[in-house]
Amino acid sequence: MNILVTGGNGQLGLSIKKISGQYPAHNFFFADLPDADITHEENITELVKKNEIDIIVNCAAYTAVDKAESEPEAARNINVIGPRVLARICKKYDLKLVHISTDYVFDGESNVPLLETDSCDNPIGVYGQTKKDAEDMIAESEVDSVIIRTAWLYSEFGNNFVKTMLRLAENRNELGVIFDQIGTPTYAPDLAVAIAEIINKGIEKGCNIYHYSNEGVCSWYDFAKEIFGQSGIDMKVNPLHTYEYQTPAKRPKYSVLDKSKIKSEGIHVPYWKDSLKTCLEELKKQ
């Protein structure tokens, strides 16, 4: 298969690049701004034709959750118009589409793990609404597609919570971190493997939604404690309530994705603390 990864320089795109050598049967092509703007149909079409692409994996997104509240048009352009362009190209050239979505399509008020079939009638914030609108558009596009919702992505690439904690530790020995928002971290290279495995199994007719994060549950506070603990950093972490750390966008209170469906496909889901260890080892090598 010839696979085009859009948003190839983002943390998930780079994570797919990292694991792509494990899948020699596929040729991966990585593209990102400025040459491969997913809102520009001609650019993407040219790449698709030139490389005889069979599948587009869309990792391109507007991911600045807080900024999206004051820039809804910019968020909508990348998160809705972009995927619409990709779906149109997939339909025209009979390609399959893998699209990445988020737990923010839910309202964040659940207190049990979220199923793919749970209601997304009230997404949390502008970012969540744009991702939900893209999901609906893909489902209606009649393109054979897979949508994978994920959460709390981190890796050795790009900006993320793990790297922020390690950076703050360079000149602080005490931090406040929110303890009343619960979820599960996702090591982006683990998600990358899951994407490659889903492609290997073959993308079925219609639109199939899956949930993927690592296994287990924690708060941001627990996540921070584990990062410093595993790194051997002596840091005093103080638990903060959400109301003590105001952000422009609302965050989910409890956002644990139920992975039963993707696991029933034989896809392995590593425990979050084990994957964190892998990431910290990778960061140490850099």
Ligand X SMILES: NC(=O)c1ccc[n+]([C@@H]2O[C@H](COP(=O)([O-])OP(=O)(O)OC[C@H]3O[C@@H](n4cnc5c(N)ncnc54)[C@H](OP(=O)(O)O)[C@@H]3O)[C@@H](O)[C@H]2O)c1
Q: Which residues bind ligand X (CB under 6 A)?
A: 6-7, 9-12, 32-33, 36-39, 59-61, 63, 78, 82, 100, 102, 150-153, 158
> What are the residues facing 148 on neighbouring strands?
100, 210
Closest distance to ligand X from the beta carbon of 47 (Å): 11
Dmax over Cα atoms in the chain, in whole Å?
56
Active site (annotated) includes residue 127: yes
User: Cα dihedral angle (43, 45, 50, 56), rounded to 10 degrees?
Assistant: 110
Give the residue closest to ligand X by C-beta: 10
Count other C-beta atoms under 10 Å from residue 178's C-beta.
20
Q: Which helix (H) or strand (E) holds 3?
A: strand 2-6
Q: What are phi and psi of 115, to 5 degrees?
A: -95, 160
For residue 123, cis peptide bond before it (omega within 30 degrees of 0): no
User: How far apart, in Å, are the Cα atoms of 40 and each of 44, 176, 236?
Assistant: 7, 42, 48
Q: 176 near 168, Cβ under 8 Å?
A: no
Residue 200 CB, nearest approach to ligand X (Å)? 20
In the DSSP assignment, the letter for residue 78 is I
> Closer to ligand X at the Cβ: 195 or 237?
195
Minimal distance, residue 234 CB to ligand X, in Å: 27
Residue whose CB is less far from ligand X, 234 or 286: 286
Task: Give the Cα separation of 217 and 184 in Å (integer).
Answer: 5
Least Å from the CB of residue 148 to ligand X: 8
By C-beta, is 36 or 267 nearer to ligand X? 36
Q: Which is nearer to ligand X, 8 or 270 (by Cβ)?
A: 8
CB 86 within 8 A of CB 72: no
Task: Please tell me the distance from the alpha carbon of residue 257 to that of residue 212, in angstroms, as a whole number.
Answer: 7
Q: How far is the CB of 253 from ligand X (least distance, A)?
A: 16
| Count of beta carbons in the 10 Å neighbourhood of residue 263 | 15
Q: Are 210 and 199 in contact (CB under 8 A)?
A: no
In the bound state with ligand X, the residue whose beta carbon lies nearer, of 173 and 279, is: 279
Q: Could you tell me if 195 and 26 are in contact, meaning their C-beta atoms sit under 8 angstroms apart?
A: no
Q: Which is nearer to ligand X, 11 or 181 (CB)?
A: 11
The alpha carbon of residue 34 and the mean position of all alpha carbons in its chain are separated, in whole angstroms, by 21
Catalytic choice (62, 127, 154, 212): 127
CB of 154 to ligand X, least distance (A): 7
Give the residue numbers annotated as catalytic, written as ranges.
127
